[in-house]
Chains A and B, each alone.
Chain A
């Protein structure tokens, strides 16, 4: 599994700080393009605020559409990060080293983007203040403080804050590396951020414990977040297809499936953009590909069970909704696309070593997974709502408006743009982790072969 060369510390510093100290034209060209897309999305959101949510495709009874689908999708992507980083740290997987920070940073920016979605979806985001800070009853404002929708911000914000702190703690030694290569105001800024880090054995010992302890503490939060997102649906009184008892774990494993795929896509993109061929290697995407096979199969099992539990009760309304999801127009086509792109296209391909070790194929298959997983959330949310409900008494369907499409496209650009801007200020691959890997790498002679090996401290 160890295919990397032994690189000098100076070389590692230079390579991994390329994003911080160099200004490649393609970097700024991409940031500029993404910025323009974000600007269009901001314009679309502004138009919606100005005209009201009538400019979206939302209607009675489909009150949740593209934006809430996108919220669930980005929450899902955010699960890659800390889950991947935490589990790989706890299991001391050697190939975690180049992947952990990118995964954690992806968590932060996708969570921030996810939080934006319900705000924009309200149409009048500032009115959320009345709900968050209810100031009197005399105006007839009686917020339901026991609503499951209150759980969401508490879980998401706990996860966001925890992830930011997790990333910061692991960044401190690398900030010292940037500090030592900087001058002037930049040096002062990084000196403050690195908190006066010197790299004493005590500081390193606590850094190692921090990685494991924080991983162990964040994992239960990570599980709770998507469980609670599933309860946004599960707690709704009347919508068919939202009440499967395994909704929470089904959402969590789906989030991991899309999230880990997202990390692979982003890692390959970083490798191309910053020339990190020595750091993001075929062995890494191969290992992630193997992990993805397991995750995808687990996800498919939950998907099948969720469906089975739905139809097992033989309730007419539930059967009709499931039938709408699979055979109704346009849901049938979307369902077919979803199941192929999320599972039947990528997973059989991942079984081949050549595919797992191909950057092109891994990019295609992981993007395919996320196309499928976005559609999965759409198919969960909209067909259930489109049918007549107890309280709405009407049937309708839903088609997104150009405004919603622009906002959703803008969120993809936003996450990638924030990711790249982060890379301009902080290293996206943990420098000290890579250096530690170099210290612990050796070659051992077994019979007539010299085998690359990694020493692991217990």
Chain B
């Protein structure tokens, strides 16, 4: 159970990646530390852990829900207002097709957005250790540790060339 969070700030990606390696070598698990950056670095540039996600499921589920809702809406409306126009059938397919297409796409997009937010683990109300200078270009390495490892973590992060290291109770 992590009782402390340690944040170290680095001036460049090289130092931050070295800090990660040093933590690995000292027996910290990749689950114990996280990099915080202001810009997307190429995947693996910092030696971060590989994270899997299920984002690709969301658009399919959304599309299915959107399709169903649109079919129900269009057919339900036509049945509720059974006005025969030009001898055409009440349940007319062409006008339904357009709305159904838009409904399907809307469902897919809405669920994709929900999926992006959910898979990004957002929104978060938990207060994490953070520093405003990260959005000025510094790279943060946050380590979750317990009473026994917190001093060791601070030492490793400092040795890796951190500009600043501080700790907070988790």
Q: Which residues of A are in contact with B by a Cβ distance under 8 Å? A: 8-10, 13, 134, 137, 142-148, 150-151, 154-155, 158, 161-162, 165, 168-169, 172-173, 176-177, 180-181, 195-210, 213-214, 217-218, 220-221, 224, 228, 432, 435-436, 439-440, 457
A160 to chain B, nearest CB (A): 10
Q: Which B residues from 67 to 100 make CB contacts under 8 A with A?
A: 77-78, 81, 83, 85, 88, 92, 95, 98-99
> Given A144-B85, A214-B113, are A180 and B132 also a contact pair (CB < 8 Å)?
yes
CB-CB under 8 A from B42, the residues of chain A are 440, 457
The 3 A-B pairs of least Cβ separation, nearest first, read A9-B137, A196-B124, A195-B123
Add 18 more A-B contacts to A196-B125, A436-B40 (CB < 8 A).
A145-B95, A147-B95, A151-B98, A154-B98, A165-B110, A173-B38, A180-B132, A181-B135, A196-B122, A196-B128, A200-B35, A201-B43, A201-B46, A209-B53, A209-B116, A214-B112, A224-B105, A436-B39
B14 on interface, CB distance cutoff 8 Å = no
Q: CB within 8 A of B102: which of A146, A155, A198, A199? A: A155
Q: Which residues of B are in contact with A by a Cβ distance under 8 Å? A: 34-43, 46, 48-49, 51, 53, 55-56, 59, 77-78, 81, 83, 85, 88, 92, 95, 98-99, 101-103, 105-106, 108-110, 112-113, 116-117, 119-126, 128, 130, 132, 134-137
- B112 A161 Cβ-Cβ under 8 A: no
Q: CB within 8 A of A180: which of B103, B106, B125, B135? A: B135
A440 CA to B41 CA, complexed, in Å: 9
A337 to chain B, nearest CB (A): 35
Task: Give the interface centre of B49, B85, B112 by most chain A CB atoms within 10 Å.
Answer: B112
CB-CB under 8 A from B78, the residues of chain A are 145-146
A185 CA to B51 CA, complexed, in Å: 35
A426 CA to B123 CA, complexed, in Å: 19
A10 CA to B38 CA, complexed, in Å: 11
- B40 A142 Cβ-Cβ under 8 A: no
Task: Give the interface centre of B49, B55, B95, B135 by most chain A CB atoms within 10 Å.
Answer: B135
CB-CB under 8 A from A201, the residues of chain B are 34-35, 37, 41, 43, 46, 48-49, 51
> Given A198-B128, A228-B98, are A169 and B122 also a contact pair (CB < 8 Å)?
no
Q: CB within 8 A of B38: which of A148, A199, A208, A221? A: A199
- B135 A177 Cβ-Cβ under 8 A: yes
- A146 B85 Cβ-Cβ under 8 A: yes
- B132 A181 Cβ-Cβ under 8 A: yes
B107 to chain A, nearest CB (A): 10
CB-CB under 8 A from B46, the residues of chain A are 201
- A158 B124 Cβ-Cβ under 8 A: no
Instruction: For B134, give the chain A residue with the smallest CB separation.
Output: A199
A220 CA to B112 CA, complexed, in Å: 15
- B105 A206 Cβ-Cβ under 8 A: no
> Given A9-B136, A181-B132, A198-B130, are A169 and B113 also a contact pair (CB < 8 Å)?
yes
